[in-house]
Structure 1
Amino acid sequence: MHDQDRKLLQQMFEAAVHAAEPGAAMRPFLPARPAGRVVVVGAGKGAAQMAAALEELWAGPLEGVVVTRYGFGVATRGIRVLEAAHPVPDAAGVAASEALFAAVEGLGPDDLVIALITGGGSALLAAPVAGLGLADEVALNEVLLSSGAPIGAMNALRRILSRVKGGRLAQAAHPARVVSLIVSDVPGDDPAQVASGPTVPGAGGRAAALAAVEQFGIALPERLGSALEQGEEPPRPDDPGFARDEVHVIASGAKSLEAAGAVARAAGFTPVILSDAIEGEAREVAKVHAAIAREVVLRDRPFARPVAILSGGETTVTLRRTGGRGGRNSAFLLSLALEIEGLDGIAAMAADTDGVDGSEDNAGAFADGTSAARIRAAGVDPAAALARDDAWSAFAAVGDLYVTGPTGTNVNDFRVILIR
C-alpha cells in the first residue's frame, strides 16, 4: 500500500474518533443543576473518558462510579473508575454492577443521576437475575457472541436475564431524575441497545427473547433456558416511572463517518457513505463491498473515481473454529483482500473506533489488491486463516495491523475503501 494512502486512511479514522470525543459531544446536552445531589453512573469502553470530561464541564459537586474495560481507565477527581473484563464478564464486573446500584440507592425526586453509557457496557455490567451466577452470565455471553445474532436479538435475552439491563438501573434510581448521555455503537442508534440499555428500557419482553432464540437458533444451556421462560418482564418504555428521564445520543457512527468523509473530500476523493447501520456476517458484508469496489475499478460505476466508500454499523462473526485471533473488522478486511486480489488503485481499512478489534490489541488493519499475495508469501494461507477465524495472524504476518490503543470513545465499526 502506498504511504500516502495509508496516511489518508489513518487521518480519516482519527477524524471519525475525534467527532465522537466525549467532552465536545456532551457539552450541549448537560442538564441543569438540581436542588439535590448529582450522582454519576456509567459503563462502557469510553465511560472513564466521559466521566473525566464531565468533571471538567460541570460546575458543582459530583459523586458516583463508572466501570470500563481493563486498561481503559483514566484519572478522575471525584467519580470512581472501576475496571472489569470485556468481552467475557468477570467477578469485577459483578462488583461494579453492585457499586452502581449502591450509588443510586435512596435517592429522592430532587436528585439527579447522569448516566454515561458507551458500547461495551453490556459485558462490563454483570448482574445475573436471582438463581443464576457469574458462570451463567459468562455462558450467556459466549453463546450470544458465537451465534451470529444481531445486537437487537442479543439484547432481547439480556433484558430478561439481567438485573441491571433494560432500564433496570434507572428504575433503581427513581424517583430521582435520570439523564442518559449515550455514545452509540449500534446500527440505527437506538439508545436502548447501547450497552443493553441499563438506563433506557427497550421494546419487547420475554416473547421477543423467545422469538430471538427460535429465529437465530441460539443454543441456551438448560439453566439459562429455564430462567428465560420464568424471568420477570423488563420495564416498558411507557412505564410512567421513566416520564421525567431524558435520553440523548451525543455521538454516533453517522456523525463520525461524515467527519471522515470531509477529510477524504479535502484530499480529492468524493466521499460516499453506504450506511452507518450495516449488519451481517463480516465476511459476507465484505463480499458486497468488494463487488462495489470492483465495479468502480472496472466500469466507473456506481461511483466515479476517485471515491472513498465508507460504511459503519456492527457486523458479526459466527465462530466456526477455536484458537483463531482477530475481531469482526479484521475478518471483514481479510475477506475483502481475497475478493479484490490483483486489482490496482484500491486501499482499504477496517477498524473499531474504540481501538480494540475483538480481544486483540489492534483497532483493525489495512489491505489492498496485493494483500492476499503478500500474506501467502509470508507463509500464511489467507483463505485458511479466514476459515479458522484467524485474520489477526494473517495481517500480523505482513505488518498491516493498525494499533491505536484505547481511543476513549466507541461508535462501532469504521470501514473505508479508497479507489484512485
Structure 2
Amino acid sequence: MGMDRLEPRHFLRELFEAAVAAAQPELTLPAALPSPPPGRTVVIGAGKGAAQLARVFERHWTGPFEGFVVTRYGFGVSCEKVEVAEAGHPVPDEAGLCAAEKMMSMVADLGPDDLVIALLCGGGSALLPLPPDGFSLSDEQVLAETLLRSGMPIGGMNTVRKHFSRIKGGRLAQAAAPARVVSLVVSDVPGDDPAEVASGPTIPSHTTRADALDWLRRYDVALPEGLQRALEEAEEAPRPDDPDFRRHEVSLLSSAGKSLEAAAGLAEKIGLPAVILSDSMEGEARELGRTHAAIAREVALRGRPFRSPVVLLSGGEATVTLRGKGRGGPNGEFLLALALELEGVEDVSALAADTDGIDGSERNAGAFADARTLSRIRAGGHDPQEFLLSNDSWTAFAAAGELFEPGPTGTNVNDFRAILVAARH
C-alpha cells in the first residue's frame, strides 16, 4: 500500500495489527525459555494472553511438565497438556479464586531441582483473587470495584492489590521455594516494570504497605472499615533482597514500546513519517484525548511540531473516573474527547484500541474517529458531549458505526493510539 492510495481506516487497522503481531508469543517466547531442570517443571500463568503463551510453550518445550493457566472468559485457547481455566475480569469471581488456590497448591512441596515457569500478562491481577486470611472473595470484589471507579492508575491499583493478597507481590514464588522460578512477562504497564504486571505474583515488590495507603489517600478512596484496617495492618510483600528470590529470573517478552516501533516501521515503509509520542502515557482518558487533539490540531493547521503527513503514535494506560453509568472503556473515552476537541479540523483520522481486543467490559477493542464522527453521532439525535459526561463512549461510537472489534488478540501490551494527519488539500 503506497501513500497515493492510503485509506485512513484501513491504514490505522494495519498499524494496530503490526503492533499486536510484534507482541505475539510465537515471536517472543521460544528464545526466552530456560533449559529443562533435573527435577519437575511446573508451568503456571495468568492474564488475557496466558492461554496463547501456554500453547506456544507446549510447542517449544523439550522436557516433561505439568501446567495450569487462567485467562478471562472467552480468551481461552485449546492446549494439549496445560489446563486452561477462565475467570472473571475486571471484577474477580469464584472461578478466579479456585484458580489462585490451585496455582498455590501446584507450587507447594517443590525442591531445589524443580523449576516453575510463570507466564504473566495483563489482566492477571483480577484473575488471581486470593484475599488474606479472615477475608472473603466478596471483600476482594468490593476492593476491585472501588479501585476501578477511582481513576487510580494501574500502578497504584496494583500496589494496593499486592497488600490485600496471599498470592500477589511475589508471594506465589515465595510459596514455591526452594524451586527456581523463571517469570516470562508481557508488559501492559507504563514503564514496563515486570513486578507490576498481573501484580507480580512471582516477582518481589518494590512497593510497600505505606505506598498502598498513600495511593488510597491521594485518590480519596473510601473503603469499608474492615478493608481499610486490613491494608493498614497488612504484612509487607516480600522484597527483592529476600533470599527466596536469589535464583529467580525475569524476562520481558514484549512491551508497548516494541509494538509502537513495529507500527512506526510499517508506516515508514510506505513513506509516511511516524512519531512515537510516548509508550507510557497515563492519566484520565478524556484529558489524554484532549492533549493528543491539541498536538494533532497544531500539526494539521500550523505544521508544527511536525509537518503533515504524519502518524502520531502513543501507548500507555488511560484510566476513567466513573461519573456516569454509561458503557465503554478508556480507549473509547479518549477518542470521544479527542473528536470533540478536533471538531472542524479536516484531514485527521484516529484509532484508539486496547491491544488485548477488549476496551473495558464491552466486545470492542476501541473505535475509529475522523472529521465526520460527531455529525454521525448527532444524526441519530444524540449529543456527543453528553455521552462523554456520562462515560458512554460505547453508545456514541455504536451510533456512529465506528466501533473497532478485532476480537481477542492473544496478547496485551496496553493501549494503542494512532492519529493520522494527512497532507492538507
Q: Is the 8 A contact 2:209 2:236 kept in 1?
A: yes
Cα deviation for residue 268 of structure 1 reads 2.7
Cα deviation for residue 105 of structure 1 reads 1.2
Residues 61-210 of structure 1 mapped to structure 2, 5 A cutoff = 61-210=64-213
* Deviating more after overlay: 210-219 vs 168-177: 210-219
SS, match of residue 94 in structure 1: helix
Q: Structure 2 CA distance, aligned partners of 1:258 and 1:174?
A: 38
Q: Structure 2 CA distance, aligned partners of 1:232 and 1:346?
A: 51
Cα deviation for residue 69 of structure 1 reads 0.4
Aligned to 1:14: 17
Q: Is the 8 A contact 2:332 2:359 kept in 1?
A: yes
Q: Structure 2 CA distance, aligned partners of 1:363 and 1:213?
A: 29
SS, match of residue 313 in structure 1: strand
SS, match of residue 315 in structure 2: strand
Aligned to 2:315: 312
Q: Is the counterpart of residue 383 in structure 1 residue 411 in structure 2?
A: no
Q: Is the 8 A contact 1:20 1:411 kept in 2?
A: yes
Q: Is the counterpart of residue 295 in structure 1 residue 291 in structure 2?
A: no
Cα deviation for residue 3 of structure 1 reads 8.0
Cα deviations across residues 362-412 of structure 1 (Å, max 9, x unaligned)? 011000111112111122211000110000000001210000111000000
Aligned to 2:31: 28
Q: Which amino acid aligns with 1:173?
A: A
Aligned to 2:214: 211
Cα deviation for residue 15 of structure 1 reads 0.5
Q: Is the counterpart of residue 332 in structure 1 residue 334 in structure 2?
A: yes
Residues 338-417 of structure 1 mapped to structure 2, 5 A cutoff = 338-417=340-419
Runs of 4+ in 1 over 2 A off after TM superposition: none
SS, match of residue 106 in structure 1: coil
Aligned to 1:54: 57
Q: Is the 8 A contact 1:347 1:418 kept in 2?
A: yes
Q: Structure 1 CA distance, aligned partners of 2:38 and 2:60?
A: 19
Cα deviation for residue 151 of structure 1 reads 1.6
Cα deviation for residue 266 of structure 1 reads 2.0
Q: Is the 8 A contact 1:88 1:138 kept in 2?
A: yes
SS, match of residue 315 in structure 1: strand
SS, match of residue 116 in structure 1: strand
Aligned to 1:222: 225
Q: Is the 8 A contact 1:69 1:84 kept in 2?
A: yes
Q: TM-score, normalised by structure 2?
A: 0.97
Cα deviation for residue 165 of structure 1 reads 0.4
Q: Which amino acid aligns with 2:327?
A: R
Q: Structure 1 CA distance, aligned partners of 2:404 and 2:107?
A: 40
Cα deviations across residues 347-372 of structure 1 (Å, max 9, x unaligned)? 10000000000000001100011111
Q: Structure 1 CA distance, aligned partners of 2:398 and 2:270?
A: 28
Q: Is the 8 A contact 2:155 2:189 kept in 1?
A: no
Q: Structure 2 CA distance, aligned partners of 1:306 and 1:368?
A: 15
Cα deviations across residues 131-166 of structure 1 (Å, max 9, x unaligned)? 111111111001111111112211221111011100
Q: Structure 1 CA distance, aligned partners of 2:369 and 2:174?
A: 46
Structure 2's unaligned 5+ residue stretches are none
Q: Is the 8 A contact 1:55 1:62 kept in 2?
A: no
Cα deviation for residue 267 of structure 1 reads 2.8
Cα deviation for residue 230 of structure 1 reads 1.5
Question: Aligned pair count?
Answer: 418
Q: Structure 1 CA distance, aligned partners of 2:113 and 2:192?
A: 30
Q: Is the 8 A contact 1:268 1:306 kept in 2?
A: no
Q: Which amino acid aligns with 1:376?
A: R
Aligned to 2:275: 272
Q: Structure 2 CA distance, aligned partners of 1:321 and 1:401?
A: 20
Cα deviation for residue 226 of structure 1 reads 1.1
The two structures, once aligned, show a CA RMSD in angstroms of 1.0
Q: Structure 2 CA distance, aligned partners of 1:385 and 1:106?
A: 54
Cα deviations across residues 248-279 of structure 1 (Å, max 9, x unaligned)? 11100000000011111123321100000000
Identity %: 61
